[in-house]
Amino acid sequence: DVKVTQSSRYLVKRTGEKVFLECVQDMDHENMFWYRQDPGLGLRLIYFSYDVKMKEKGDIPEGYSVSREKKERFSLILESASTNQTSMYLCASSGHVDEKLFFGSGTQLSVL
């Protein structure tokens, strides 16, 4: 079975801190994605990557950046965390663009 692992289940950070969220997949998938999920807003795409060192903006990239130095790892970076970035962050991967996504368990980030 495909496994997508997110490094932290819960994180509490202070406003202004730099935050790193890590995601690793073990199925050699080309595509990786970062979403945030908020009550009443559903899943929103932040960034995605189709290949190593490639990145594309999603629907809400402001305040975020990403890094993909290796195929299996996709990192989400909050350069200067703000309270409105408190959310559940979900990483996902897929073998091809139109295929189903495999999600990690999520990181619940609280910015105080």
Partner 1 sequence: EDQVTQSPEALRLQEGESSSLNCSYTVSGLRGLFWYRQDPGKGPEFLFTLYSAGEEKEKERLKATLTKKESFLHITAPKPEDSATYLCAVHGGSQGNLIFGKGTKLSVKP
| 90-112 burial: b if 16+ Cβ within 10 Å, else e | bbbbbeeeeeebbbbebbebebe
State the residues that interact with partner 1 by CB under 8 A: 4, 33, 40-45, 48, 58, 90, 92, 97-98, 100-106, 108
CB of 20 to partner 1, least distance (A): 19
Q: Which is nearer to partner 1, 1 or 14 (CB)?
A: 1
CA 45: distance to chain centroid? 9
Minimum CB distance to partner 1, residue 45 (Å): 6
Token pair recorded at residue 64: 């975020």
Closer by beta carbon to partner 1, 69 or else 97: 97
